[in-house]
Every structure is written in structure tokens, then in C-alpha cells.
Chains A and B, each alone.
Chain A
């Protein structure tokens, strides 16, 4: 067994020396038939080298006219790395053919050689030619269409696309106007400058929040305060129980609610100055307070 292994290793070593350091070269093309003038053919070349060897970038073919009917357009190298002692490369070459055959004709993309080196030695890797069948684009004798030579037409002028930008401009313009309107409403700019804040709407919300936070006297007082602030904000000054009649003169929309408002101020006085929050709450329960706030909020809509 060890003898066999030794022999196998020796054979590998010997053949490796004999075949040089280039293990394999394979040219993979697309279909080898059915090409017309102007077609681009991508050839893929797989090169396998022994490990220490690397391809010399300078030895690769450069994009250029190869022959009078063949252009090499692009060359790309993909170093696929070293695996199992072998260094693999994949080249991608784009050729464009400009041959005008009169009948189907076999042509060959000529081969080329690339240089590999391990620092001390240089070896040539010869890439073979690749043959394909080229087809004519036109008949040999044109039909009798009048013109001695029929040519395809010019491209004509290229009109720039306007509609796309125009529709985008219209859409974004409408959106801008709408958004500006929304912003003006939000900030109470002209023409919404007469629009007032709705203190009672916010007061009802704040009072609900306050009541939710607890059932004690503090929470009740906080709820009362919310409505007080709404009265102050509506009047533009602090409104006390004694100022109620003058307040209702400036804000007549609240007049139908006068008795309820009076009841609120009484309860408030009892809660804050009488320090009897429980008694005040019995007088004006929370649900009634919220209800009053909601009716005030409804009334304030008629103010502006």
C-alpha cells in the first residue's frame, strides 16, 4: 500500500513536471452557429494552473481590433482562488463580429496565449481558437423594389420626454398647495387666522386624563383646574366666579349654559377655598363635570 501511494505521488510529480504548470485550458462559447454581422460573442476561458503560478495581467489580450472583421471589446479576469493545489482563473472576453458573408460560413476567433509565472519560471498558456458559423443578413440578389440599393432609414430626431416631468410637476404642485393649506390651518395663518384654539376640547381631554389617574381629591381638583384654564384661555384673562357675568357678555355663545357654569364655579370655590373636595364632588360629580366640558366645547365652536 505505501509503495503504491509512493508510486502515485511519483507519477503526479513526473507528469506535473512534464506537462508544465498549466493544468487545463477550456474555452466555453455560446452556441456555435446562428450569428449575424454586429453580434457580440462572449467567450469564457477557464485556466487552471499549479499553485505557485499566477497569471500575468500584462499578458492578457487588450481590447482592440483583432482582425479586420473582429473587435475584442472587453476583457475581464476572475481569480477563483486556490483549491487543492490548483489556481483557477476564469476569463470573460467579449468579441464583436463585423463580417458580411454571402452564405453561411465558418469563422474562427483566433486563439491567444497568456503568461503565467511563479516568480522564477514563466510558462505560456495557449488558449485555442473558437469556431462558429456565421449567417448572412440579406439575400444575395435584392428583390426588384425600384431602388437600386435599399437602405434602412435614418433614426430621425429624438424628442425629449416632457409628459413624465410635467405630470410629476403637476402632482407635486397640487401636493405642495394642499400641504401649505394644511400647515396654514395647523399654525392658524391666514386665512385661518380667525380660527381659535379650542381650549374646552383640550380641557375635556385633560380632565379625563386627570380623572383616570386617581379617584382622590387631588385628581378631582386637577380636573377642575383644567376647565378653569379653558375659561381663562377663552377670556384671555383669569375668570373668577364674580366675573362670570362680564365673561358671558364677551362670549355670548356660552350664555345658555349659565346655570351649569355657575354650579361649576361654586363647586370649584368649595373644593379650593373651602378645602372640601369631597363635598364639591358630591355637588358636581365627575361625569357631570365632563359632560359640562363637552357642552362648553360644543358651544365654543360658535364663538369664532
Chain B
């Protein structure tokens, strides 16, 4: 026969020293804690909502053509809007200068977007130059555009628009295996060469 009384006695002693919380006190503590959590959530989400709303005003202001200065530490979406503003005014180099700040922010979606948009701007400029028969100026722009599309696709392979436009750019100026350093001569792209690579342009075609 096991003597259970000693066990109960022991457990009774063990708990005797612990002051039990009354239900009222527990309710009060719970209430205060829940209030603190709810208020913290309100403060944080309220601040986030306000700053997002405020930043959206900057973004839509830039989109409608207002020249709003933007710091390097701004949100990537704002940097993108600033870049798009600069691109519309043909200030591509200034827009390109925003890319490192976007990269630092770590937002891959925006990074891909700004690089894609920049490449588009360069490609469109190059197409205008080709129409004016300024082929020599167009080729480096097209190559920069290709690098931009590749950079965008490297960050976001699912950006199908970048794939499409990269395909267009690559057919305008085709890539070739790089010439080994043994031959010092840089590859010369002649206008005749370019036109043979322009199957997408109907001009001059039957």
C-alpha cells in the first residue's frame, strides 16, 4: 500500500508559499496588457498608414510632373517615381544615379522596375536616333539598354516585359562572343552591319 498522504502533504507544502493570484487581479493585468498591445498596434499602424499616404502624395506629385527633390534615404518607390520623372525629361544619367540607392533599400521589385524603365528610355532614345540615321550614337545606348534589361531580369526573372524588350534590343544589335584580349582591336560596328541586324524595322524592307 502506497502512502499517498505524504505525497499530498508534500505538494501542499510546496504550494503554500506561492501567493495565488486572484481572478480579479489576473483580469486587471490582462486588461492592461491587452490595452498596451492594442495601443502599440494603433500607434505603429497609424504611423505607417500616415507615412504611406504622405509618400503617395510625393509619388503622384512626381508622376504629374512636379519637380520634387528626393533624398537618397527615401523609400524605393519614391526613388522610382523620381527616376521616372527624370527619365521623362531625358535626364537619364541623373535617373541612373538613383539605382544604387534603390539597390541598398533591398526592394528587388523596385530595383528591377527602375532598371527596366531606364533601359526602355535608352532603347526609345536609340530608336529615335536610328530614325535620324545617327547609328553610331544609337549603338552604345542599345548596349546600355541590354545591360539594363539583363540587370532587371537578374533581379526578377519573371519580368516578362523585360524579356520581350531585351529580345528587341538584342535583335537590333546582336551580341557576339567577346574577342579574346589577344586581339587589341575593339569590335567595330558599322552601320551596314547594324542594318543587317535590324529585321524588326520595316523601313527599306519589301
Question: Could you tell me which A residues sit within 8 Å of B by CB distance?
Answer: 36-40, 67-69, 71, 73, 96, 98, 100, 102, 136-138, 140-142, 144, 148-162, 165-166, 168-169, 172-173, 175-176, 179-180, 182-183, 186-187
Question: Given A98-B150, A154-B120 in contact, is the A38-B63 Cβ separation under 8 Å?
Answer: no
Interface centre among A157, A161, A169, A176, by most B CB within 10 Å?
A: A157
Query: Interface residues of A: mostly helix, strand, loop or mixed?
Result: loop
Query: Does A160 contact B154, Cβ atoms closer than 8 Å?
Result: no
Chain A residue contacts of B110, Cβ below 8 A: 158
Q: Would you call B157 and A179 a contact (CB within 8 A)?
A: no
Closest to A100 in B: B170
Contact A154 B116 (CB under 8 A): yes
Q: Is the CB of B41 within 8 A of A157?
A: no
26 A-B pairs with CB atoms under 8 Å apart are A38-B159, A67-B177, A69-B175, A71-B154, A96-B153, A100-B170, A102-B199, A136-B167, A151-B168, A152-B161, A152-B164, A155-B161, A156-B84, A157-B81, A158-B59, A158-B81, A160-B59, A160-B75, A162-B56, A166-B45, A169-B45, A172-B38, A172-B45, A175-B42, A176-B38, A183-B35
A178 to chain B, nearest CB (A): 8
Given the known A-B contacts A67-B177, A68-B177, A151-B120, are A157 and B63 also in contact in the complex, defined by CB atoms under 8 Å?
A: yes
Query: Does B199 contact A141, Cβ atoms closer than 8 Å?
Result: yes
Interface centre among B32, B46, B162 (most CB of A within 10 A): B46
Assess whether A158 is in contact with B77, with CB atoms less than 8 Å apart.
Answer: yes
With CB as the reference atom, state the residue of chain B lying closest to A142: B200
Least Cβ–Cβ distance between A130 and chain B, in angstroms? 19
Out of A38, A136, A157, A159, which one reaches B162, CB within 8 Å?
A: A38
Binds A, one of B3-11, B12-20, B47-55: B47-55
Any A CB within 8 A of the CB of B108: no
Chain B residues with CB under 8 A of A161: 52
Would B42 and A176 count as touching, CB distance under 8 A? yes
Using an 8 Å CB-CB cutoff, how does the interface string of B165-193 with A read, 1 for contact, 0 for none?
11110111011111000000000000000
**Is the beta-carbon distance between A158 and B80 smaller than 8 angstroms?**
yes
Q: Which of B69-85 contact A (CB under 8 A)?
A: 75, 77, 80-81, 84
| Known A96-B153, A100-B171, A138-B164; contact A155-B117, beta-carbon cutoff 8 A | yes
Q: Which residues of B contact A155 (CB under 8 A)?
A: 80, 113, 116-117, 161
| B45 and A158 contact, CB distance less than 8 A | no
Q: Do residues A166 and B117 form an inter-chain contact, with CB atoms below 8 A?
A: no
Instruction: Show the binding face of B for A, using Cβ within 8 Å.
Output: 27-28, 31-32, 34-35, 38-39, 41-42, 45-46, 48-49, 52-53, 55-56, 59-60, 62-63, 75, 77, 80-81, 84, 109-110, 113, 116-117, 120, 123-124, 127, 131, 150, 153-154, 157, 159-168, 170-172, 174-178, 199-203
Q: Chain A's nearest CB lies how many Å from the CB of B34?
A: 6
Partner of B200, one of A68, A149, A154, A166: A149
**Residues of B with C-beta under 8 A to A68:** 175-178
A98 smallest CB distance to B (angstroms): 6
Majority-rule SS of B interface residues:
helix
> What is the CB-to-nearest-CB distance from A176 to chain B, in angstroms, rounded to a whole number?
4
By beta carbon, the residue of chain A nearest B28 is: A186
- Closest B residue to A140 by beta carbon equals B199
Q: Which interface residue of A136, A152, A155, A186 has the most chain B CB atoms within 10 A?
A: A155
For residue A165, give the distance in angstroms from its CB to the closest CB of chain B: 4
Min CB distance, B149 to chain A, in Å?
8
Contact A172 B161 (CB under 8 A): no
Contact of B31 among A149, A166, A186 (CB under 8 A): A186
Inter-chain CA distance A39–B39, complex, in Å, is: 47
Most chain B CB within a 10 A radius of its CB, from A100, A168, A173: A100
Q: Which of B49, B55, B127 contacts A166 (CB 8 A)?
A: B49
CA of A4 to CA of B201, assembled, Å: 75
A residues in contact with B120, CB < 8 Å: 151-154
